[in-house]
Structure formats: C-alpha cells, structure tokens
Amino acid sequence: MINKIRENKFQFLAILTLILVVANTYAIYAYDLDVSRLVRIISSVSIFTFFLFFKGYLNRIVLFVFALFVLKDLFVLDYEVVTNKTFAFYASILAYSMLAFLGVKKTDILKSTPSIVLFGVLLVGINIFNVYYLSDIIQAVLDNQIQYSLFFVQGAVLLLLGISAGLYYNKYTGKIPLYYLYFVVCFIFSDIFGLAAYFFDVGFAYYPERILYILALVVLTSFALEKNYQRIYGNTESEKKLLF
C-alpha cells in the first residue's frame, strides 16, 4: 500500500491540494479569522507531512524553508500579538531569502537578457510604489518601527526572489526551473493579496491569498521531490538558447 502511494505521489498531492483549497475557501467564507487561521496552519502542516513522507527532507534548504513557513503560520494564529507579528516577518524574510539563494546560485545576473532586465525594472517599480505611496497606511497598522523596517526588507527580498526566478527560468529548461518560477509567482502574489486583505481590509483578497499560498507550498514540494529524483537518476536541466 505504501509503495503504491509512493508511486502515485503526485496524484495524491493533487487530491490533497484540492481538499485543502476547498477547506480553506469554506473556512474563509463561513467562519471568522481565528478559524480561518487554524485551517491555514492545518493545511501547511498537512503539506509538510506529505513533503516529509516522500523524503523531501533530503533537500536540506527546502526542508528548512518549509519549516519556517509552518513556524510563520503558528505565529499568524495570534498575529495581533506584537512579538508574533514581528517573528512572522523574520520567518518570511529568512524563508524567501533562502529560496532566492536557490535561484541566484544557478544564474549569472551580469548576463541578463533585456527581457529579464525589464522584468527586474518592473519589480523595482512596484517596490518603490510600496515605499512612497503605501508607507503611511502600512505604518499605521504595524506596531513599531522594527516591524515597519521588516515590512520593506521583506518587499526587497521578494523583489530579489522574483528576479532570480525570471533569470533561472530564462536560462534553463526542464521541470525544476518551471516549478521554481511557479512557486515564486504564487508566493509573491499571495503576499500581495495578503497585504490587501489584512492591511487594507479587502475581505475578498483572503481567498486568492490563501489559495496561492497553498499552491506555492504544493509546488515547492514538487520542486524538492523533482530535485531528489534528478539527484538519483541524473539531471535533466539544460541551458536554453536565449532569444530575447
């Protein structure tokens, strides 16, 4: 039975994803924020358990990143407590930094193509918008100057993560660069929708925020499992012939 589950791991992962998306959507719709946050941590722990069961822990960096996201979700359970909110920022920043490192070490930023430069400029523009136009609103919601600083550090790290994903996908073919791009995009947009939901009180934004977060963890799991597969059976990545 266990062997059959291992052979069909991605089918089981797809089923788990569907269950978690439905459960979180219903929790956001039918219950208050406390119940929704509880379902969130149950979801991340469930995916983390799947990750461990299929030996995703062989990828040490992803293991640590996953543990940080679970830890962050524990802090989010009581997010209005000052220390919890602060440590949630620290966990996010460290997790995103380590994910960015995975992409940066595979690429050469100095050899970026014009399309990637344009992508990077766009991300920088979004971050500047956050700094100059949202700062007063954000500062009013946060508890202290440390959190205010961490908010922008997190934005800068997400910026680096987005650029590293574009570089990685632009340079290599194969499942791993595609998975990397997918989970990075999911994390970035989940963070944006989370900003709208919590800091700007846009209630509907909780739905895409949560769904994208679950998808990001699922694709991160697929990324780690594919890396393990290639470590055993050989690397299938190859460099692209860059057209733009």
- Phi and psi for 111 in degrees, rounded to 5? -105, 30
Residue 5 reports pLDDT greater than 60 = no
Which amino acid, 164? Answer: S
Residue 100: CB atoms within 10 A of its CB come to: 20
Inside any domain, residue 88: yes
The Cα-based distances of 81 to 71, 72, 84, 86 in angstroms read 15, 13, 5, 9
Q: How far apart are CA 185 and CA 188, in angstroms?
A: 5
Looking at residue 163, its pLDDT comes to 85
Does residue 244 sit within a domain? no
Q: Which domain holds residue 65?
A: 2-239
Give the integer Cα–Cα distance in Å for 65 and 184: 13
The 10s digit of each residue's pLDDT in 61-113 is: 999 999 999 999 999 999 999 999 999 999 999 999 999 999 888 776 545 55
Q: How far is CA 166 from CA 56, 156, 157, 173, 218, in A?
A: 24, 16, 14, 12, 20
What is the total count of domains within the chain? 1
